[in-house]
Amino acid sequence: MKNKTKNKSSNKHLRLFRKYSKLDHLTEKQIKKLMKTEFKLSYNKHIMSSFMSIWSLSIKGKQVITFSTFVKLFKGKDGFFRGITL
């Protein structure tokens, strides 16, 4: 029973991730749009720069958020979206 709940939660994250990503990752512009549209959040450029430097990976010289990292944003006491539930 617990696995079904985890899969449903994962599906919600995956659906949201795919809605805004064009490839297998989110760029800074895409994550900003997701935050503004879905969560009504808006941060200044310094906070977004810090967010990207902490949570992003470098792929082909660009900082991007992968799906595995995106899920971690909602978990634990350190997650950037820890107060948001889907």
Whole-angstrom Cα distance, residue 86 to residue 23? 22
Q: Give the Cα separation of 62 and 57 in Å (integer).
A: 8
The H-assigned helical ranges of the chain are 2-20, 28-39, 45-55, 67-72
> 86: pLDDT confidence band, cut at 50, 70 and 90?
confident
Distance CA 35, CA 44 (A): 12
What sign results for the dihedral spanned by CA atoms 69, 74, 78, 81? Answer: positive
Q: pTM here? A: 0.82
Q: Where are the domains of the chain?
A: 2-72
Q: Are 27 and 62 in contact (CB under 8 A)?
A: yes
**Any idea which fold 2-72 has?**
Recoverin; domain 1 (1.10.238)
More confident call, 37 vs 11: 37
Rounded mean pLDDT of 56-82?
92
